[in-house]
């Protein structure tokens, strides 16, 4: 049995196989509409979500399976003090696979120790968001045709932005990528990303503060929201939340083929006038989210791809 807690739980080959399966699903989703007949997905969301929870549910329904779950801790027995470990044991009796979001870093890992069914981390605190990483990689590959030899700028809240941490970790395994981390001093990448991921992989990176100066150098721009819910101090949040706002005027500084990604939700960091720019890729990411989660459910449940006759993971 396999779980997905961080993107590094998948080898590069397995990652590419999941991206390829998601592409096949996007071309012919009707070929997959009964592959999970009789299987059940539990969505255990202790923290708010629109895209991740609904796309997981839509994915399972589109594969012929069913869903159950809760969308806030208050709706579950966590509100009475039940532990994540006990909840994982209990839900293992009801479903075939679990997608879990939790505000505490490490909660899905803890669940995986006690679960009898695969656990997918749907975002844990400021730590990781591996399914978003697969979506981001699918979108970058669609736009740039590759995942290596790219100069990628990450802008905004790089301290708490778990999608950034996960995507950077995964992209360090592809050759010749260069990273620009664009943030205020207070929202720099966490030490562990520098010390345990970037430096050991000999990655090339720079930490900078000017979006305008960096834009002309980029092949890909990844914008992020300043994560209000992770701040202890409201004043600090208000001071930092609008430091970077991407608009059409600033985009004139960028390459005409530089896709703009954002995991969403956005607040003010991408102005609405960017939505009509062909470089805006964030709604492609939303659509890819459903295909990636269909592919991932198939992979972790060991479901054979009717097109290739093979499963994705050994
Ligand atoms: N990108 C993402 O995780 O969105 P939600 O918080 O709406 O799930």
Written as tens digits, the pLDDT of the chain (314 aa) is 999 999 999 999 999 999 999 999 999 999 999 999 999 999 999 999 999 999 999 999 999 999 999 999 999 999 999 999 999 999 999 999 999 999 999 999 999 999 999 999 999 998 999 999 999 999 999 999 999 999 999 999 999 889 999 999 999 999 999 999 999 998 999 999 999 999 999 999 999 999 999 999 999 999 999 888 777 788 888 888 888 999 999 999 999 999 999 999 999 999 999 999 999 999 999 999 999 999 999 999 999 999 999 999 97
- Whether ligand 1 lies within 6 angstroms of the CB of 131 is answered as no
Choose one of 51, 121, 230, 293 to mutate for the ligand 1 pocket test, by most ligand atoms within 8 angstroms of C-beta: 51
CATH number for domain 130-285, candidates 3.40.50.1370, 3.90.850.10, 2.60.40.1080, 3.55.10.10: 3.40.50.1370
> Which residue, judged by its Cα, is nearest atom 1 of ligand 1?
263
Under CATH, which number does the domain 7-128+288-301 receive?
3.40.50.1370
Give the separation between CA 111 and CA 87, rounded to whole angstroms.
8
Supply the pLDDT for residue 233: 86
Supply the pLDDT for residue 243: 87
> Which secondary-structure segment (H or E) carries 252?
none
Q: Which of 51, 262, 266, 293 is catalytic?
A: 51
- Whether ligand 1 lies within 6 angstroms of the CB of 306 is answered as no
Q: Measured at the alpha carbon of residue 197, what is the angle toward residues 194 and 198, in degrees to the nearest 5?
A: 55
141 CB neighbour count, 10 Å cutoff: 16
Q: Is 224 a catalytic residue?
A: no
> 152 is written with which tokens?
């990628």
- Whether ligand 1 lies within 6 angstroms of the CB of 288 is answered as no
pTM for the model stands at 0.96
Instruction: Assign 3-class secondary structure to 156-172.
Output: CCCCCCHHHHHHHHHHC
155 CB neighbour count, 10 Å cutoff: 26
Supply the pLDDT for residue 232: 76
> Which residue, judged by its Cα, is nearest atom 6 of ligand 1?
49
Choose one of 52, 230, 266, 288 to mutate for the ligand 1 pocket test, by most ligand atoms within 8 angstroms of C-beta: 52
- Whether ligand 1 lies within 6 angstroms of the CB of 265 is answered as yes
Supply the pLDDT for residue 188: 94
Supply the pLDDT for residue 172: 97
List, as own/partner pairs, every contact residues 272-278 make where C-beta atoms lie below 8 angstroms and the sequence separation is at least 24, other chains included. Answer: 273/247, 273/248, 274/246, 274/247, 274/248, 277/248, 277/251
Supply the pLDDT for residue 240: 80
> 165 is written with which tokens?
């941490």
Q: For 212-229, b where at least 16 C-beta lie within 10 A, e where not — what string?
A: eebbebbbbbbbbbbbee
* Angle between the N-to-C axes of helices 84-91 and 107-114, in degrees from 0 to 180, rounded to the nearest 10: 50
Q: Is 89 a catalytic residue?
A: no
Residues spanned by CATH 3.40.50.1370 within the chain? 7-128+288-301, 130-285
User: From the centroid of its chain, how far is CA 191?
Assistant: 20
Give the separation between CA 282 and CA 148, rounded to whole angstroms.
20
Q: Is 101 a catalytic residue?
A: yes
For residue 279, how far is its CA from the centre of ligand 1 (angstroms)? 21
Reported as half-sphere exposure (CB side, CA atoms, 13 A), residue 173 has a value of: 15
- Whether ligand 1 lies within 6 angstroms of the CB of 266 is answered as no
For residue 128, how far is its CA from the centre of ligand 1 (angstroms)? 12
- 3 state DSSP class of 40: strand
Which of 103, 113, 220 is closest to 162 using CA atoms?
A: 103
Whether residue 225 is annotated as binding a ligand: the answer is yes
């Amino acid at each position: 049995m396999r779980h997905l807690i961080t993107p590094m739980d998948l080898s590069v080959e397995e990652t590419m196989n999941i991206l390829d399966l998601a592409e096949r699903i996007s071309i012919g989703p009707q070929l997959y509409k009964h592959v999970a007949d009789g299987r059940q997905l539990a969505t255990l969301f202790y923290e708010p979500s629109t895209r991740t929870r609904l796309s997981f549910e839509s994915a399972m329904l589109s594969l012929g399976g069913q869903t159950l779950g809760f969308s806030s801790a208050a709706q579950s027995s966590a509100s009475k003090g039940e532990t994540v470990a006990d909840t994982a044991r209990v839900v293992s009796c009801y479903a075939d696979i679990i997608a879990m979001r939790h505000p505490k870093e490490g909660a899905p890992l803890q669940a995986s120790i006690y679960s009898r069914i695969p656990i997918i981390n749907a975002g844990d605190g400021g730590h990781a968001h591996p399914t978003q990483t697969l979506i981001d990689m699918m979108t970058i590959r669609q736009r740039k045709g590759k995942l290596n030899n790219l100069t990628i700028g990450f802008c905004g809240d790089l301290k708490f932005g778990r999608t950034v941490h996960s995507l950077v970790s995964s992209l360090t395994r592809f050759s010749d990528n260069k990273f620009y981390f664009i943030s205020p001093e207070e929202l720099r990448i966490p030490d562990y990303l520098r010390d345990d991921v970037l430096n050991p992989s000999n990655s090339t990176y720079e930490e900078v503060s000017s979006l305008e100066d960096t834009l002309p150098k980029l092949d890909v721009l990844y914008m992020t929201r300043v994560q209000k819910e992770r701040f202890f101090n409201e004043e600090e949040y208000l001071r930092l939340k609008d430091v970077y706002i991407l608009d059409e005027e600033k985009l004139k500084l960028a390459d005409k083929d530089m896709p703009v990604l954002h995991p969403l939700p956005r607040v003010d960091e991408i102005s609405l006038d960017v939505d009509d720019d062909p470089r805006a890729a964030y709604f492609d990411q939303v659509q890819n989210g459903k295909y990636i989660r269909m592919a991932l459910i198939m992979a972790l449940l060991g479901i054979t791809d009717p097109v290739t006759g093979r499963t994705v993971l050994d």
